[in-house]
Amino acid sequence: MQPAIWYKLRSIPSVSSTADLEMVGMVRKLCFNFGELQSFLSRTTGAYEGVFQRVRSAIDKAAPVISQAREAARMFRAEMGWETGGTAIGDFIRPVLRKIGIVIVESPVPDSLIEGCSFRVKSTHDIACVFANSYQSTWFRRNSVILHEICHGIFDLEGEPVSVDYRRETSDDISERRANLFAQECLVPKAVLVYLVNRFGIHWERLSAKNLASLIAGSKAEQRLVLRAALSHKMITPDQHDEYLKFDCAADLKKLSPQALTTREFLATVPHDQHKWFFQDRFVKIGGRGLLLPVGFLKIVIELLSADRITIDKAAELTMMDRYTFQERFRQMLPEAA
């Protein structure tokens, strides 16, 4: 364990909820197990640190915060291979970040106001972890949350054990403003907006809900972020921003992007025998706290077990289940001797 995480949480007045403490602890345990899993795969997971260091060292901390954020986002997109023209990155965020050794965890925590957090743990490898609370959230919103936490990882975690952000939290703190702008500039830089506007033949002065839905689907960013980016690049006026923010784009967006579907709507598109895999089979509980295991993490554990590289007891330990629960859930995927 790293008690520094608990001390940090307890030192923040707004973090008093047992749910918050338990959630961070459980995600930390998962990240610790992820590091152990990498040792079985003989993989190193520290590539992210080189990326973070190169971005961090190139930024002038005396520059205006918007300049810091835009330059950091530009460099980070280039490091990740996302610098090409009007490339929207929402579909690539998770797999690319995981490839450089960052653990991404998205799980609903209904009784916590935490929207996202980031921290590092020392397992068999140094692990960076980002958590996004998926309760009453959207895939588009979580794209922003993940990148917001990545910015904290780049600039703010060298001397701090954990960064925690809350729903509806507002702050003039430079680190929060920089993280907000970094997420915006990663997801919706001017080049992406210009490309989408030209692609769809959109005119900002007579924008419709359908047009805005096309911009959301194309940029992979939530409505308010798209409009905030347009405002910051002087493509719309403050009055237009406020007017377009009221548009209800949900119905049009669902026609354009499967990521906009609700859980029930999504499951309706998936064979019924696969429903458990998406939720029940991935759900683990310690005490009163539950968490959805990342699909990729769980698949690797099952593959290692099937290849006789770990025992079923170790597989259960890594996935935070007891042996019998693990066997029952994944019996058809396990070797006969397990």
Query: Residue 107 pairs with which residues in a beta bridge?
Result: 133
pLDDT in tens, 112-123: 888 999 988 876
Is it the case that residue 313 has pLDDT exceeding 80? yes
Q: Residue 293 half-sphere exposure, CB side, CA atoms within 13 Å? A: 28
Token pair for residue 13?
Answer: 């007045």
Determine the distance from the C-alpha atom of residue 307 to the mean position of all C-alpha atoms in its chain, rounded to a whole number: 30
Helical H segments across 42-129, by residue range: 47-58, 65-79, 93-99
Is it the case that residue 70 has pLDDT exceeding 70? yes
Report the alpha-carbon angle 167-101-51, nearest 5. Answer: 85
Distance (Å, rounded) from C-alpha 80 to C-alpha 50? 12
pLDDT in tens, 78-107: 999 987 767 899 999 999 998 888 999 999
For position 336, what pLDDT does the model report?
61
Distance (Å, rounded) from C-alpha 151 to C-alpha 144? 11
Confidence band (pLDDT; 50, 70, 90) for 242? very high
DSSP state of 293: P
For position 17, what pLDDT does the model report?
66
Is it the case that residue 302 has pLDDT exceeding 70? yes
Lowest mean pLDDT among 41-45, 55-59, 311-315, 324-328: 41-45
Helical H segments across the chain, by residue range: 3-11, 18-41, 47-58, 65-79, 93-99, 139-155, 174-187, 190-200, 209-219, 223-232, 238-244, 250-256, 263-267, 275-278, 295-306, 312-318, 323-330
Query: Residue 286 pairs with which residues in a beta bridge?
Result: 289
Which residue has better confidence, 278 or 200? 200
Lowest mean pLDDT among 4-18, 143-157, 197-211: 4-18
For position 105, what pLDDT does the model report?
93
Lowest mean pLDDT among 119-128, 225-234, 316-325: 119-128
Q: Which of 213, 157, 149 is nearest to 183 (CA)?
A: 149
DSSP string, 220-282: TS-HHHHHHHHHHTTSS-HHHHHHHTT---HHHHHHH-GGGS-HHHHHTTS-GGGHHHHTGGG
- Average pLDDT in the chain: 87
Burial class (CB in 10 A: 0-12, 13-18, 19+), 56: middle
C-alpha radius of gyration, the chain, whole number: 21
For position 124, what pLDDT does the model report?
64
pTM over 0.75: yes
pLDDT in tens, 21-51: 788 888 888 988 988 888 787 766 678 989 9
For position 317, what pLDDT does the model report?
94
Token pair for residue 325?
Answer: 């629960």
